[in-house]
Amino acid sequence: MSRLVPFLGAVLLGATPALAAGPDLGAVQQQATNWPAIFMFLFFVLFTLGITYRAAKGSKSAADFYAAGGGISARTNSLAIAGDYMSAASFLGISGLVYSSGFDGLIYSTGFLVGWPIVLFLIAERLRNLGKFTFADVASFRLDQTSIRIISATGTLVVVAFYLIAQMVGAGKLIQLLFGLPYLYAVVIVGALMIVYVAFGGMKATTWVQVIKACLLLGGATFMAGAVLYKYGFSPEKLFATATQTHPNGDAIMAPGGLVSNPIDSISLGVGLMFGTAGLPHILMRFFTVSDAQAARKSVFYATGLIGYFYILTFIIGFGGIALLMSDPSYFKLGADGTTYDKIKDMVGGTNMVAVNLANAVGGPYFLGFISAVAFATILAVVAGLTLAGASAISHDLYAQVFARGRTTEKAEVNLSKASAVGIGIVAIYLGYVFENQNVAFMVGLAFSVAASCNFPVLAMSILWRGTTTWGALLGGLVGLVAAVVMVVLSDAVWVKTFGHPKALFPYANPALFSMPLAFVTIWVVSTLDRTRRGNRERAAFDAQYVRSETGIGASGAHAH
Amino acid sequence: MSVTQTAGSSATADARTHHGNGALEMPEPDHRLDRIADHPIFKTLVHDRTRFGWILTGLMLFVYFGFIGLIAFDKALLATKVGGTASLGFYMGMFVIVFAFVLTGIYVARANTRYDRLSAELIRSLAK
């Protein structure tokens, strides 16, 4: 067990973990075709395609495409934000982690949640006030368009690429398990659907797909947690008591275990989870879909509540799995003698399938089909959001501002964005196929680390600190990006497990504790040393940005001409 | 409210601005902005809100890294039973989740009342 826990920790390292994960799902057996699940999923797909069709008819301008015309309400946006965050990974991965090691699952739940208050207090309203379509718009508000957009778009694309690969591989494996479809089919279906949502429906369709899925997921998880608690007379104490009696580790599941055996690593993990949230491009884009700063503020508040509630549900579901599934041999692959099984390793479909198996235990085969369909829908919605963020970075940041230098039309830009979405989809299908048997568990962790070490410092410093200059932001972002990637490559997950070297050159699994401060310090030092005329002009331009970021007033002043 | 309405139209309007201008675009000098930056209400609003935001940020960092720190350095404490089966760590984990939500609630409540009122006053006095 003590070996299993760090392993699961590594697997869980990002949001997707679980599904994404290697060995657990690596040896996946294709299951019998699950018709109820397939029908429910088809219904979801048809319904969301209908929404996409309507969104496509109403989407004309760039603002429609990138930001749903700015007409999303705070409540809707909060569901979309929560949906972006409640990946299949958080659902299946965290409930699986709670199932195998109890308390340790909470470390991830809390880590994923606490980034939100930071986003609210420091970023959300200012982002909306300065906001256009991508966070690069904000970071480059008073700095050099070309340099800042290149670094922001690079950060965005790196985050999107790693996140997307992990999701695609996870999707393929999960669908193999849940629906009994071959891996390649699954990857192609996910890729094709996300292209349709994004290329035709833009942000409007992507938002509504996310909202519907968030409601389904919250509804399904609420029912499941409710059914578990119902069996124990709504007494968590009784649930915990049964769980500790059933779990092979007994009382130890109520206490911190081996997941964070290394203090530095656990703090670094926390830093990455917390500040990575504030730098995820597909999440930051959501702040431009609401009408004003007040709505941005409210949507973070509601979203924090929804996400926190969801993590409490996953905790109950994990404990429900221990209490209700562990003593039932029908959920396990039995050993050679036909009666014994390892309560943790031998679960049918792997530990990540706890929530799915529990759905069967509390709601029967149709509820199992429902939860399977929701898990698929979840992946679909998350990859659509990522694709839109990537396509926006290519068209709005790189093409319109860097290559065309602003000499382009809105229509050409949106068309390029749609083409980029198709391109990203095809690349994602290809990568999903290529990486099928690779260990991709570290990739979500890497995506969070890059977001925390490149996107977040560039964004925060350009908004909050007068002294930031283009040179500082550019070099700082670059240093953060390179440091995060290099440290992960030299860590155990890649250097040893993928490349087969005997010893990791970077001792920790999570680089953020080092790479993020490095980025901030670089921005500070380089900006301070920057004595160029452009640097002086940029510092002088801070006041205008400051007024607008704090009040939204400059926004109207700036284009009243 | 007027502040938020002005901000509301920014997405579309900005798209236009940016398409028209080249890569070297700088925010144009606007004397109205200087007037706002020196306005006493603006100063109160921004000083207050920034300070409040950083205080809450500090609280969140303290609580979360306190929790992680205990997990890293004092596992035994968190394993302590608090009545029955549930451990102190479990309650603390739940507390962190609820605390994060409550903290955002406190910020939003204050922003919806005090800061939005100050913004409205600022807009009114600028219109004079």
pLDDT in tens, A372-400: 888 888 888 999 999 999 999 999 889 88
How high is the pLDDT of residue A259?
Answer: 67
Which residue carries 């568990």 as its tokens?
Answer: A441
Distances B46 to A74, A317, A549 between C-alpha atoms, Å: 23, 44, 10
Query: Directed axis angle between helix B40-73 and helix A263-277, to 10°?
Result: 150
Q: B81 pairs with which residues across the strands?
A: B87
Q: Whole-angstrom distance between the N-terminal and C-terminal Cα of chain B? A: 17
The residue of A285, A294, A539 whose CB has the most chain B CBs within 10 angstroms, and thus the best one to mutate to test that interface, is A294
Coil, strand or helix: which one is A347? strand
**Distance, in angstroms, between A131 CA and closest chain B CA?**
7
- Residues 92-151 of chain A with CB under 8 A from chain B are 103, 106-107, 109-111, 113-114, 116-118, 120-122, 125, 128-129, 131-133, 137, 141-142, 144-146
Largest CA distance in chain B: 68
Say yes or no to pLDDT of A47 above 70.
Answer: yes
Residue for token pair 């006493």 = B40
Residues 6+ apart with CB under 8 A from A213: A44, A83, A374, A377, A378, A380, A381
Chain B residues closer than 8 Å to A241 by CB: 84-85
Q: Which residue has the tokens 């999923």?
A: A41
Output the pLDDT for position A28: 54
Low-confidence ranges of chain B (pLDDT < 50): 1-27
Question: Which domain does B67 fall in, by range?
Answer: 30-127
B 36-75 near A (Cβ less than 8 A): 36-37, 42, 45-46, 49, 53-54, 56-57, 60, 64-65, 67-69, 71-73, 75
Q: In chain A, count H helices and then E strands.
A: 27, 0
Share of chain A above pLDDT 70, in %: 92
Residues of A in contact with B111 (CB under 8 A): 125, 294, 297
A268: DSSP letter: H
CB atoms within 10 A of CB A533: 7
The residue type at A416: L
In three-state secondary structure terms, A18 is helix
Residue B117 resides in a domain: yes
Give pLDDT tens digits for A52-77.
888 888 777 888 888 888 889 999 99
Which one-letter DSSP state was computed for residue A111? H
Contact A57, A208 (CB under 8 A): no
For the beta carbon of residue B82, count every other beta carbon within 10 angstroms.
Answer: 13
- Please tell me the predicted confidence (pLDDT) of residue A1: 33
Residue B123 domain flag: yes
Residue B32 to residues A51, A237, B36, Cα–Cα distance (Å) = 44, 62, 6
Q: Does the residue B13 lie in any domain?
A: no
For A476, the token pair is: 């700082």
Q: Is B108 part of any domain? A: yes
Residue B25 placed within a domain: no
pLDDT tens for A330-347 read 888 888 777 788 888 888
**DSSP state, residue A33:** P
- Closest Cα partner for A152 from A389, A425, A386? A389
Q: Which position has the higher pLDDT, A549 or A79?
A: A79
**DSSP letter at A439?**
-
pLDDT over 80 at A260, yes or no:
no
A555 confidence band (pLDDT: 50, 70, 90): low
Residue A136 in contact with residue A535, Cβ under 8 Å? Answer: no
**Which residues of chain A does B26 touch, with a Cβ-Cβ cutoff of 8 Å?**
142, 537, 541
State residue B62's pLDDT score. 95
Q: What is the DSSP string of chain B?
A: -HHHHHHHTHHHHHHHHHHHS-TT--PPP-HHHHHHHT-HHHHHHHHHHHHHHHHHHHHHHHHHHHHHHHHHH-HHHHH-B-SSS-BHHHHHHHHHHHHHHHHHHHHHHHIIIIIHHHHHHHHHHHH-
HSE at residue B32, side-chain half, CA atoms within 13 A, is: 17
pLDDT digits (tens, 9 = 90+) for A406-451: 788 888 888 899 999 999 999 999 999 888 877 777 788 889 999 9
Could you tell me if residue B2 is inside a domain?
no
Cα A195 from chain centroid (whole Å): 18
In a domain, B14, yes or no: no
- Distances in Å between the alpha carbon of A269 and those of A274, A367, A485, B69? 8, 35, 15, 12
Q: How far apart are CA A468 and CA A530, in angstroms?
A: 9
Q: What's the pLDDT tens digit per position in A167-214?
A: 888 888 888 877 878 888 889 999 999 999 999 888 988 999 999 999
d(CA A90, CA A438): 21
Give the number of other CB atoms < 10 A from CB of residue A343: 18
B1, B18, B112: best to mutate for the A interface, most A CBs within 10 A: B18
From A522, A448, A529, select the one nearest A485 (Cα to Cα). A448
Mean pLDDT of chain A: 85
Contacts 24+ apart (CB under 8 A), A239-242: A239/A316, A239/A319, A239/A320, A239/A323, A240/A319, A240/B84, A240/B85, A240/B86, A240/B90, A241/B84, A241/B85, A242/A323
Give a yes or no: residue B8 inside a domain. no
Instruction: Specify the 3-state DSSP secondary structure of A72.
Output: strand
The DSSP 8-state label assigned to residue A244 in this structure reads: H
A70 close to A221: Cβ distance less than 8 angstroms = no
Q: How far is CA A442 from CA A25, A333, A452, A511, A522, in A?
A: 15, 28, 15, 12, 26
Q: Which helix (H) or strand (E) holds A154?
A: helix A145-179
Contacts 24+ apart (CB under 8 A), A543-547: A543/B33, A543/B34, A543/B37, A544/A142, A544/B27, A544/B29, A544/B30, A544/B33, A545/A130, A545/A141, A545/A142, A545/A463, A545/B27, A546/A466, A546/B37, A546/B46, A547/B33, A547/B36, A547/B37, A547/B42
DSSP A290: B
Task: Report how far apart, in Å, the C-alpha atoms of A132 and of each of A68, A187, A446 are.
Answer: 12, 33, 27
Q: Which of A512, A77, A7, A28 is nearest to A290 (CA)?
A: A77
- In this prediction the ipTM stands at 0.86
Measured CA distances, B127 to A549, B35, B42 (Å): 19, 12, 14
B106 reaches A (C-beta below 8 A): no
Structure tokens at B117: 């009122």
Q: Do B107 and A132 touch (CB under 8 A)?
A: no
Tokens linked to A496: 């040893």
The answer to whether the predicted template modeling score (pTM) of the entire model surpasses 0.80 is: yes
Does residue A35 carry a pLDDT above 50?
Answer: yes
Q: Give the CA count within 13 Å in the CB-facing half-sphere of A433.
A: 12
d(Cα A502, Cα A462) in Å, to the nearest integer?
42
**Number of domains, chain B:** 1
